[in-house]
A and B are shown apart, each in its own frame.
Chain A
Amino acid sequence: MAARPLATRCSPLRRLALVAGCALLLLAAAGRDDAVTAIKTLVEQRRFLEAAQAGEKLVKERAEDAEAWLLLAQVHLSPDWAFRRDARAASAATRAMKLAGRRPDIVAALAFARARLTEYDDALKLIGELCDATPPKASGELLSELLVLRAELRLKREGAAGHAAALADLERAIVAAPRASQPRILRAEAWMNVDRYADALEDLKVAIDRAPGSKAAHALLRTACSQLGQREEARRHYEIWKRLNRLTDSVAPTSAPDLLERRDVLRELATLNPRDLDRRLELAQTELQLADYDGALATCEALLGVAPTFAAARWIREQALLAKAGQRPPPPVPAPASDGDGDGAGDGASESASDHGGGAR
């Protein structure tokens, strides 16, 4: 299900913030802007539960601030959060709308939340309000994401009957955000539904060019290549997918990879999928955390060879050099991919990992 989340993709600047550690940011966050930044950083670090708790605190303090409510909604729309609360996303977006009116970004957040709650007809009305106006009330990436969501709902609910309309929405989505990968991925799925694997492959090639670390794109490429008899290529995408999945496939630390395994997986990914610079940066960061300074330096050098202006890589390289010279300890180990409290704290209780009731596995 597409969503309008806060981004968790590893852009260089975001990685900088991640490496610096959010504790420092939280301490520094005094005003509203700082609190907002801190919440966004928590989301980037995949510390969703803390982000949601900080969001609740923020809306309590600033109950008449639409931005605060919208931010809370967006936290709960995070696609990678297994235990998000869709209903809270909807209620927060509704509150934001009461305060700020039918602003496109707020209407969009509510649309995504309604879709998550399987209130599809409501979601479609909201999407229509933004996308079908002349001119559309949304544009660019937001318009694209809304159209992708509508296309997805059509494909899921109407099957073959919704195929043509979904394709039309996806065409618009691609025009609205030519660099976006999601419309291409969904269009590839639509082609695959009608056995047009060659067409799907074309879209997936473009998508993977835009998002080399997309798990979904690699998985679909595996299937499309398999059906087209391209065994080696299918296998290659499967091997990449398998490693990407291992990094994120567990919601509990008991079965999530530890730092050493993460490093090994990321090293394999760097070889298998060298165009995925985000994962290579993550490898450098992981090596740094493991005090493998030579490894981190080599990874950063390789990255900078490909992308000489990669600021985050430069920063990690500096940290590795300093740490190697004994001038600075390695950065703290970040929270695991889940909320970090999934294995229970103190009383042996687990919050996040127990949340079957959230139904969001």
Chain B
Amino acid sequence: MNKRWGTAVAAALAACSVGAASGQERPTFVERRDCGIDFVHQRFMTEGKKYLCETAGAGVALLDYDGDGRLDVYCVQSCPLPGYVGADAEAPPPIDRLYRNLGGFRFESVGPLVSVAVRQPDGSVKRVEKPLGLDDARYGMGVSCPDVDNDGDPDLFVTNVGRDALYRNEGDGTFTDVTLESGVVDELWSTAAAWADLDGDGDLDLYLANYAQIDFAAYKVCTTRNIVSYCHPDTLRSAPDRLYRNDGGFRFTDVTAAAGIVEPDEGGKGLAVLPFDQDGDGRLDLYVANDADENYLWMNRGGMKFEEEAGLWCIDVSGRGASQSCMGSDLADVDGDLDFDLFSANFGKEPNVLYVRGKDGFYDDRSYPSGLGEPSYLFTGFGARFFDYDRDADVDLMVVNGHIVDNAELFDATQTFKQVPHLYANRGNGTFESIGPRLSPFFLEANVGRGLATGDLDDDGDLDVVVLQNGAPLSVLENVGDHPGRWIGFKLVGTASPRDAIGAVVTIECAGKKQAQPLLGTSSYLSFGDLRLYFGLGAVAADAPVQVTVRWPSGRVQSQADLAPGRYHRIEEPPAK
């Protein structure tokens, strides 16, 4: 059977098995290749070099950049690196792409010029063409969309191998590159950027995870059995992470050393950062997932001072004390006890790790008992996101996989470059079952999954998924499942807290069941999802009242009762009394 026919038959069989296994007429997730998003990630592999960054990117973001209430999509692109001799070596490098959500699951590419309404001196409005302003053409890694200046629209921060890019949203559908004047000038290989109000002054500070020091001019070629292959990360020196204090007006100060962000030993190779309050002192701490090294937990002592305590809280390594290769990460209450558990995806032959929070906030590695260990053992996980895909009132987990070595199978028969993604359904008690193929043929198709973000792209009350595949087209999965449960969502607007409210915790109660979620902003791998918090409510009455309590980053606690399911509620932080 030739390969093309083989693929077609496999797809047909997969479609049949999806329907048969699930008992549904149609799958839960449909890959929408017709939605207008034509982004194709290019890895630009340099012959004979195998730069480690080539298979590491990239991320994807969901943001409402134009304030129309719909989630738009930003995709990070790479570019040719020194020594690249591909046919397109002389062509202008591709740039990141922004897609505007037109509604009805239709998108259109934005730029390079956009039509902007400009008010004239006589009061009339004239439309003129302006550059979109998003022209980053460096080797891209991650993206985040914080409201840096609390003006109500998302700005953009793109991490690169080399200088990162910070864009101010001008509010008219265009952006301005403010990197140089902002003070966030980092020339290292940056990956994850976490935004959180770390000093309690009401704006978002930046923790920037850096991976490794990469010198293209003196890059060491690694071989195994005379085959050129990607180097182990240990062969590259780690690049130090950075902490920037937001001074307002798009000005930042590097406070890394003053804040005590001094990485032990050689330093870690950071790939994900999650801001959350680990010890309940009202200050946001930072979990940093490191590749091939111990993770960090920077405990916020106040006054922009931090101490590293991952080891103390038992989330630095696996339960058996082995360093892991932690990549995409997320935080959620998996077992319904209203505290947050930590997940990090890992390298092949290391199970993904689930740290379940236990007594007094100490964690225990429950990867295998939770059911997340065994199915992930042979896979290299990157993008990872907890979300309630089926509205049954617990968080499920999606992980996209793909080795970093493009010829992995030459060295280990159990490994492949392209790997299938996983969706783990929560059984309701914090244990999981891998059920992806029952939900969509997407989960039968091997790819090199990297960025992953979730959000309600069509505002129909369920969560859709966007996956950036390394060296392949973007995958947009529409959630079309017939979910019987109800749902409710929240858009938080901070006042004393940052307007985005990143770091807030929302707890709801409906029909006797309580649930809690943190608002993280950056999560998963190099990606940024819907800032609205979404809860499945399970099989409750259509008019079942929902009580919500918001713990704002400022420390204020706000409660509202009798909210109606089936819609997104805007909750604004009350003024101080």
Chain A residues near B (Cβ < 8 Å): 83, 86-87, 117-118, 155-157, 159-160, 189, 192-193, 195, 215-216, 218-220, 222-223, 226-229, 234-235, 238, 241-242, 245-246, 249-252, 254-255, 257, 342-344, 348-351, 353-361
Contact across chains for A254 and B234 when beta carbons are under 8 A apart: yes
- B443 close to A (CB within 8 Å): no
Q: In the complex, which residues of chain A have a beta carbon less than 8 angstroms from the beta carbon of B25? A: none
Q: B265 to A87, Cβ gap below 8 A?
A: no
Name B413's closest neighbour in chain A (CB-CB).
Answer: A87
B:320-343 near A, CB below 8 Å: 320-323, 325
A229 neighbours in B (Cβ, 8 Å): 359-360
Note all chain A residues with C-beta closer than 8 A to B410. Answer: 357
Given contacts A219-B320, A252-B234, A350-B231, contact A118 B414 (CB under 8 A): yes
How many Å from the CB of A6 to the closest CB on chain B?
Answer: 20
Give the contacts of B399-413 with A (CB-CB under 8 A).
403-405, 407-413
B171 contacts A by Cβ under 8 Å = no
Nearest chain B CB to A99's CB is how many angstroms away?
24
Cβ–Cβ < 8 Å partners of B407 in chain A: 357
A-B contacts, CB under 8 A, total: 175
Q: Measured between alpha carbons, how far is A99 from B320 in the docked complex, in Å?
A: 38
A342 smallest CB distance to B (angstroms) = 7
A348 to B363, CA, bound (A): 42
A219 lies within 8 A of B321 (CB): yes
A227-B359, A355-B411 known; A159 and B232 CB under 8 Å? no
Other-chain contact of A193, B229, B293, B366 (Cβ < 8 Å): B366
Contact A358 B224 (CB under 8 A): yes
Interface residues of B in 519-537 (CB under 8 A from A): none
A361 and B314 form a contact (CB under 8 A): no
Shortest C-beta distance, B467 to chain A (Å), equals 22
What residues of chain B lie closer than 8 Å to A342, measured between beta carbons?
Answer: 232, 234-235
A254 touches B237 (CB 8 A): yes
Asked whether, in the complex, the Cβ of A220 is within 8 Å of the Cβ of B321, the reply is yes
Cβ B415 vs Cβ A348 within 8 A: no
A358 to B409, CA, bound (A): 9
Say yes or no for B182: interface residue by CB 8 A criterion.
no
Contact of A357 with B314 in the complex, beta carbons under 8 Å: no
Q: A189-B319, A350-B220 are in contact. Are A223 and B230 (CB under 8 A)?
A: no
**Contact flag A348-B320 (CB < 8 Å), given A117-B414, A354-B231, A358-B412:** no
Closest to B369 in A: A193
Is A249 in contact with B323, judged by CB distance below 8 angstroms? yes
Against A, the Cβ 8 Å flags (1 = close, 0 = not) of B207-248 are 000000000000011111100011110111110000000000
Partner-contacting stretch, out of B31-39, B82-90, B371-379, B381-389: B371-379
| Chain B interface, number of residues (Cβ within 8 angstroms) | 64
14 sample A-B contacts, Cβ–Cβ < 8 Å, listed by A number: A83-B224, A118-B378, A155-B368, A159-B371, A219-B317, A219-B321, A223-B362, A223-B365, A349-B222, A353-B235, A354-B224, A355-B411, A356-B231, A361-B232
Inter-chain contact B265/A246, CB cutoff 8 Å = yes
A interface footprint on B406-428 (CB within 8 Å = 1, 0 otherwise): 01111111110000000000000
B404 to chain A, nearest CB (A): 6
- Taking the nearest CB of chain A, how far is it from the CB of B232, in angstroms? 5
Q: Which of these, A193, A242, A355, contacts B232 with CB under 8 Å?
A: A355
| 19 extra interface residue pairs, beta carbon distance < 8 Å, beyond A353-B231, A359-B347 | A156-B374, A159-B369, A219-B318, A223-B363, A223-B364, A226-B313, A228-B359, A241-B311, A245-B317, A255-B238, A344-B220, A344-B222, A349-B223, A354-B224, A356-B230, A357-B224, A357-B412, A360-B349, A360-B412
Tell me the complex Cα distance, A354–B224, Å. 6
Contact among A195, A223, A245, A250 for B234, CB-based, below 8 A: A250
Which single residue of chain B is at the shortest CB-CB distance from A249? B323
Minimum CB–CB distance for B235 against chain A, Å: 5
Closest residue of chain A to B230 (Cβ to Cβ) is A356
- Report A-chain residues with C-beta under 8 Å of the C-beta of B8: none
B314 touches A223 (CB 8 A): yes
CB–CB B224/A227 < 8 A:
no
Write out the residue numbers on chain A whose beta carbons fall within 8 Å of the beta carbon of B231: 350, 353-354, 356
Chain B residue at minimum C-beta to C-beta distance from A256: B234
For residue A242, which residue of chain B has the nearest CB?
B311
B residues near A358, Cβ cutoff 8 Å: 224, 411-412
Interchain CA distance A47-B317 in the complex, whole Å:
25
